[in-house]
A and B are shown apart, each in its own frame.
Chain A
Amino acid sequence: MSAEPRAEQRPQFRPVPKALKYIFGLGLGARAVLMSSHLAGWLQDRLELASPVTSWTRMTEGLSLLDHGISPYEGDMFHETPLVLMLFYCLSKIWGGLIPIFFLLVDLVTGCLVHEVGTNVCRHLLEKQGRHVKSYSTDSLSLLLTGKQLNSVPRLMLGAYLLNPLTIASCAAYSTTGLHNLVIAGALLAAVQGNRLLATLATAVASYQCVYPEIFIIPVAMYIAQREQQVNPKEDYVTSVLHTLLSYALWLSSLLFLSFLCFLSWDFFSATVGFVMLAPDLTPNMGLFWYFFTEMFEHFRIFFLCVFQLNAVFYVIPLAVKLRDHPMFHLHLLVGLTAVFKSYPTFGDAALFLSLLPVWGHCFKYMRNLFLVVCMWLYSIVLAPVLWHLWIYYGSANANFFYAVTLAYATAQIFLLTDLLYAFLRREFHLRHGPAPKEGQGMPILMNLK
């Protein structure tokens, strides 16, 4: 899927660059080694890597229930979508050894998709810069993007995805987070290519699979509408958005109907979407839900559930207003936002967002907390298993220790997101006003985010 559009755009044959070969080899090698080592079993039960939705243990449970002719959605064990279940069922029926290969392939393809996302977004940004360059300040030439990025950024993204220890561990744990990342990356790629049918289909698949990407449709619709306006300025913005939404709704409902056909019952809906939305499983994870909801009085539960879920999706509206001219950036921010605020996050979710960051590397100059974020991230990743072990196995620490780490992890991600937003806006400002704008008295301006 990823190779074909590339071939069309560049008819002449180009060998795969050496760096890519190394990244592929190293990434796949590390995954294969880790999968075959004795650590794999341990990783499968790591709550940081496998949530109740994506856990492989639950998937095997679902498969064996299916084998015995029982619908896996009748109990409270299985929360993956029916189509994925069917996919794994077919794989396990053909040959059990296909499953690790499948997981390797999923990560490989995700890597390729991320690479393509990088190429396409870079091209899109350059195009956009070309259109707007007249309105930029003459001093801010140094801030402009150059064609050089087109080469390095996608590779960096590929490396950031395939060589990230988090995705490697997540893949070795057979966590279906890899699959979720695949569909989200697919949605990003389809969106940036701007084909309405394809983009809405990919977004629908992503939202079918992971629920939260449903909010992606807003920036996607805006992006498509803007593209259409560029081609044909007479095109109506609102009509285009409505077309996109309609097409999305059709795709999504057909996917749901397809799932209905699998078991001829709607049980799966409450077990998948309902599970993610109502968050009944309060086993500790890296998210923010479990601690609050274990502490909470039962009659406040619905209220706070609404608050928490709204928190996860609400930012799409203010961002849509603020970033109305930059839907691509908006879309990428949403990937990060859902990775923090979703009800059952894992490290794998955050890893996808991390691998998208190099595209916005030109904004890093204006980021102020990057170092702090990196430190917090490292701390939480190292301390989470340690404190979990002390709490669960040794019984000497308690829930608060572990929760503190998840809080630090979430805070790091939120810092990263706000900082990236700030850096992006600030760069836009500097593009228009020059790299060192002066106040009335000739003093250098101080930027502030309040």
Chain B
Amino acid sequence: MGLLSDPKSRERFSRIAAKYNSPLCVLAYVVGVVWFLALAYKPFNHRTYFSENALLPGLVEGKFRTENVATRISQAMKDIKDVSKDGPMPVAWIVNQFRGLGLDTYTQEYIQTIPVPSARQSEEQGKEMFVQLNGTNVYAILRAPRTASTEAIVLSAPYKHYLNMDHNNHAFGLMIALASHFRKSSYWSKDIIFLLVDYDEIGMEAWLQEYHYTKSPLLKSSPLHGRSGSIQAAINLELHSDQVSHFNVKLEGLNGLLPNLDLVNLVVQLCGRERITVKLHQQRDTFPSEGWPAFQQNLKTMSLMMLHQATGMPNGLHGLFLRYHIEAVTLEGVLEPGRSTTGFYRMGRVLEGVFRSLNNLLERFHQSFFFYLLPASDRYVSIGMYMPPFGLILLVTALKISFWAVYIGTPDPDPWDGEENVVIEHIHSKKTGDGQGDNTDSKRGVTKIRTQNYSDGDVWSLVPVVSCCQVAGFIASISPMVMTGLGHLFGTRPYQALITGATGMFFASLFMPKCITRNRLACTVNTLRLWKCAALVLQAIILAATAAANFSLGMLLAVTMVPVCAMVRPGKLRFLQAVLMLLVSPLGLLVIYTGLYLLLTETEYHGVVPSAMHLCTVVYYNILSGVIHGYVLGTWQYTLLALAVFPNWLFFWCIVFKKRDVPVVENKEEKKTS
């Protein structure tokens, strides 16, 4: 409280904060970034451990022996697919497989309206505005012999991957094999739901919505006829072949949600027990685990995780469970040529172990961590470890805020000196120069100068600027859909219209400084200081709130935007500032981070031009999927960028160009003439 009530210590603090401001900012930023990067180094992070003792992983002996069923079923499914040539899901056959095991089997049909047609669909159906997907989910419930269906665990698998048109028949084979094995046992105290979904995320969303009685206007589905209890956990299975070299564990869910770390540990631990390699984002854990190469590798894994999480899009079907407070991960079996492989037998044993551990759970996952980053499959960085460096980076903004807050009230011309005083003179001399200028203008000139003497920022000037920026953001948030509608009228391809809508507002608003900085808003140094201060306050709020909800997004935004926005000032070096600002604009950041992602994942380099083309394509699809997922799945990343980050950025952009309408040269000429 001393700092708040004692003027002496307050003055001392503000003096220090003002005097050493820039070095302190640089120090805070550098320490923050280095600290954060260092978290990927083994001595700075922790080894994962089981917080939930009820799981008892690996205490039971695996009894899974039905791998031949898996082989048979997956082959049979492949045959059906080959015959039907990628037709719809063979619902009746799948139902028969489940019924054959004596499970309660049900189907669910749904119709999803997609507000923007996909490229393939739009070519087929001409200018169809809305595309409707009809799909069917099949699920079977293994009733637990020991309880009355109050709790359940889900084993799900997509029917096929629509992105790369890869069939998932092996996962279905393994699912049936596990089902036939599980139903022979009497120890289940939770129902097990086997779920095969059509159309990836959309089918999953349809099933989950119906299961939890939630409704969405774009999705109509038939009611579920069979139900179980509350779902405790879910494992989603994707197998690319019957022999896999490793499991790729996918964690990132909708809007950056992560499953409880205990579930991830469980899967990793049991895979280790069956000697199946586990990778995160296709990145192998290193051995030895210390040293420079290991650090590089861990940093790469952690960066990939952050880049994925920041998009807010689920990278597997498990991501949709997380919204319903159900812990879930996706196990992706990948065959990497030249590595030793594992068959259905050991994969089945891993899943058996996972399910038997989950069966032991006495209450929902609530221990361990929900906010974490993984530099390796057995190392974690928890929220308590990554928040301090993030706080240090935000401290730069806080220091700048306090710096400007100190200077707002002073007539001191020191920060942003000289030129600004010329502005004042200019306004003044203009009035004296053309005396017959209209009355209101001259009044304004006088008040401005009085404000300068009184040395206080004009708080009201914030209102038009902030509201203009917010309106621009609002338009940007709705424009993709509006443009798609308009484009439909004019016969534009929906994708192009959507992209135009999403980026058009951005490019249009680059000219906003031109509009708002006419003499109407000519302002003093102090007002500009106030603007900068307000913009920094808003930025800090946005970044803090974003980081609370989706840490990776907040961190990636902060690490680039904070230093640039802290340096922004009106006037000087406008071109350089403009370039920097464009780099940290929402679109610029998207390009940068997509580039980083490609750099980390792509192994081949084809030269500058093809790489740039490739980058553009990926950025294009990222924007598309960001917008469309916002409507279909309810991700909020695009809305956040459009409604909060973009207006804030625009505010800084306006500050950079604030002086444009009062050229100094003109002023000198006027002085000469007068």
Chain A residues proximal to chain B, CB less than 8 Å: 368-369, 371-372, 374-375, 378-379, 382-383, 386-387, 389-390, 393-397, 401, 415, 446-450
A-B contact pairs, 5 of them (CB 8 A): A368-B5, A378-B541, A382-B541, A383-B545, A401-B548
Say whether A375 contacts B5, CB under 8 Å.
Answer: no
| Docked complex Cα distance between A395 and B325 (Å) | 6
The CA-CA distance from A287 to B7 in the complex, in Å, is: 31
CA distance A71 to B366 in the complex (A): 41
> B129 on the interface (CB 8 Å rule)?
no
Counting CB contacts under 8 A, is B323 at the interface? Answer: yes
Measured CA separation A369–B3 after assembly (Å): 10
Q: By the criterion CB–CB under 8 Å, are B545 and A386 in contact?
A: yes
Inter-chain CA distance A121–B405, complex, in Å, is 31
Please give the distance in Å from A443's CB to the nearest CB on chain B.
13
Q: Are A368 and B549 in contact (CB under 8 A)?
A: no
Tell me which residues from 569 to 609 in chain B have a Cβ below 8 Å from any Cβ of chain A.
none
Q: A378-B537, A447-B7, A448-B7 are in contact. Are A394 and B323 (CB under 8 A)?
A: yes
A397 contacts across to B, CB distance below 8 A: 370-371, 548
- By a CB distance below 8 angstroms, the chain A residues around B257 are 394, 396
Residues of B within 8 A of A393 (CB): 323, 325
Across the interface, which residues of A come within 8 angstroms of B401, CB to CB?
Answer: 375
B7 touching A446, Cβ below 8 Å: yes
Residue B662 interfacial (CB < 8 Å): no
Q: Could you tell me the distance between the alpha carbons of A35 and B304 in the complex, rounded to whole angstroms?
A: 43
- Answer yes or no: B6 CB below 8 A from chain A CBs: yes
Q: Which residues of B1-34 have CB atoms within 8 Å of chain A's CB atoms?
A: 4-8, 10
Contact between A371 and B5, CB atoms less than 8 A apart: no
How many angstroms from the CA of A374 to the CA of B4 in the assembled complex?
14
B551 → A minimal CB distance (Å): 11
Q: Is B155 in the interface zone, CB < 8 Å from A?
A: no
Knowing A375-B537, A378-B541, A379-B541 are in contact, say whether A448-B548 is a contact too (CB < 8 A): no
The distance in angstroms between the C-alpha atoms of A395 and B368, with both chains bound, is 13
Per-residue CB contact flags for chain B residues 541-575 toward chain A (1 = under 8 Å, else 0) read 10011001100000000000000000000000000
Residues of B within 8 A of A (CB): 4-8, 10, 257-258, 322-323, 325, 366, 370-371, 401, 405, 537, 541, 544-545, 548-549
Task: Rank and list the top 9 A-B pairs by shortest CB-CB distance, nearest first.
Answer: A396-B370, A395-B325, A449-B5, A382-B545, A386-B545, A371-B405, A382-B541, A386-B548, A386-B549
Would you give the shortest CB distance from B82 to chain A, in whole angstroms? 42
CB distance B322 to A394 under 8 Å?
Answer: yes
Q: Which B residues are CB-close (under 8 A) to A374?
A: 537
A368 to B371, CA, bound (A): 37
State the Cβ distance, A445 to closest chain B Cβ, in Å.
10
Contact in complex: B544, A383 (CB < 8 Å): yes
Output the nearest chain B residue to A369 by Cβ-Cβ distance. B4
Residues of A within 8 A of B541 (CB): 378-379, 382
CA distance A369 to B405 in the complex (A): 11
Residues in B neighbouring A446, C-beta threshold 8 A: 7-8
Q: B6's contact among A386, A415, A448, by CB below 8 Å, is which?
A: A448
Chain A nearest CB from B450 CB (Å) reads 14
- The complex places the Cα of A379 from the Cα of B548 at a distance, in Å, of 12
Whether A379 pairs with B544 at a CB distance below 8 angstroms is yes
Q: Is the CB of A415 within 8 A of B4?
A: yes
Measured between beta carbons, the chain B residues less than 8 angstroms from A379 are 541, 544
> Which residues of A sit under 8 angstroms from B544, Cβ to Cβ?
379, 383
**C-alpha gap A355/B549 in the complex (Å):** 32
Distance in angstroms between the alpha carbons of A208 and B530 in the assembled complex: 44
Q: Are A368 and B548 in contact (CB under 8 A)?
A: no
Establish whether residues B405 and A368, one from each chain, have CB atoms under 8 Å apart when the complex forms: no
Do A368 and B4 touch (CB < 8 A)? Answer: yes
Shortest Cβ gap from A361 to chain B (Å): 12
Complex: chain B residue closest to A384, CB-CB:
B545
Bound complex: CA of A369 vs CA of B366, how far in Å?
A: 40
Contact indicator B545/A368 (Cβ below 8 Å): no
By a CB distance below 8 angstroms, the chain A residues around B5 are: 368, 448-450
Complexed CA–CA distance, A369 and B1 (Å): 11
> How far is A415 from B5 in the complex, measured between Cα atoms in Å?
10
A374, A396, A397, A450 — which one has the most chain B CB atoms within 10 A of its CB? A396
Knowing A396-B257, A397-B370, A415-B4, say if A390 contacts B549 (CB, 8 Å).
yes
Give the residue name and chain of the A residue nearest to B365 (CB). Answer: A395
Contact B548 A383 (CB under 8 A): yes
Besides the contacts A372-B4, A379-B541, A396-B370, what 13 more A-B pairs have beta carbons closer than 8 Å?
A368-B7, A371-B405, A378-B541, A382-B545, A386-B548, A386-B549, A389-B549, A393-B323, A394-B322, A401-B548, A415-B4, A446-B7, A448-B7
Closest chain A residue to B408, Cβ basis? A371
Instruction: Say yes or no: B548 contacts A387, CB within 8 Å.
Output: yes
Assembly CA distance A378 to B644 (angstroms): 14
CA distance A382 to B8 in the complex (A): 33
Contacts of B366 in A (CB 8 A): 395
Q: Which residue of A lies closest to B371 (CB)?
A: A396
| A386 contacts across to B, CB distance below 8 A | 545, 548-549
Complex alpha-carbon distance, A397 and B366, angstroms:
10
How many Å lie between the Cα of A197 and that of B325 in the bound state? 57
> Which A-chain residue is minimally distant from B4 (CB atoms)?
A369
Nearest-CB distance from A152 to chain B (Å)?
12
Contacts of A449 in B (CB 8 A): 5
In whole Å, how far is B386's beta carbon from the nearest beta carbon of chain A? 15
Q: Which residues of chain A come closer than 8 Å to B370, judged between CB atoms?
A: 394-397
Cα A386 to Cα B537 in complex, Å, equals: 18
Residues of B within 8 A of A372 (CB): 4
- Distance in angstroms from B47 CB to nearest chain A CB is 22
Question: How distant is B51 from chain A, measured CB to nearest CB, in Å?
Answer: 14
Residue of A with least CB distance to B533: A371
Cβ-defined contact, B325 with A394, below 8 A: yes
* A378 nearest CB neighbor, chain B only: B541
* Chain A residue at minimal CB-CB distance from B398: A375
Residues of A within 8 A of B405 (CB): 371
Interchain nearest-CB distance for A369 vs B (Å): 6
- Bound-state Cα–Cα, A389 to B4, Å: 32
CA distance A386 to B6 in the complex (A): 34
Q: A449 vs B6: C-alpha distance in the bound complex, in angstroms?
A: 7
Tell me the complex Cα distance, A395–B544, Å.
Answer: 19
Q: Which residue of A lies closest to B325 (CB)?
A: A395
Q: Which residues of B contact A387 (CB under 8 A)?
A: 548
Bound Cα distance from A449 to B257, whole angstroms: 46
Give the complex CA separation of A393 and B323 in angstroms: 7
Report B-chain residues with C-beta under 8 Å of the C-beta of A371: 405
- Distance between Cα atoms of A378 and B462 in the complex (Å): 15
Q: Which residue of A is nearest B547, CB measured?
A: A386
Contact A390 B6 (CB under 8 A): no
Q: How close is A430's CB to chain B, nearest CB, in angstroms? A: 15
Q: Tell me the bound Cα distance from A401 to B405 in angstroms.
A: 28
Q: Give the docked Cα–Cα distance between A401 and B544 (Å).
A: 13
A167 and B197 CA atoms in complex are apart in Å by 46
A267 to B150, CA, bound (A): 40
Task: Give the residues in chain B near A382, CB-CB below 8 Å.
Answer: 541, 545
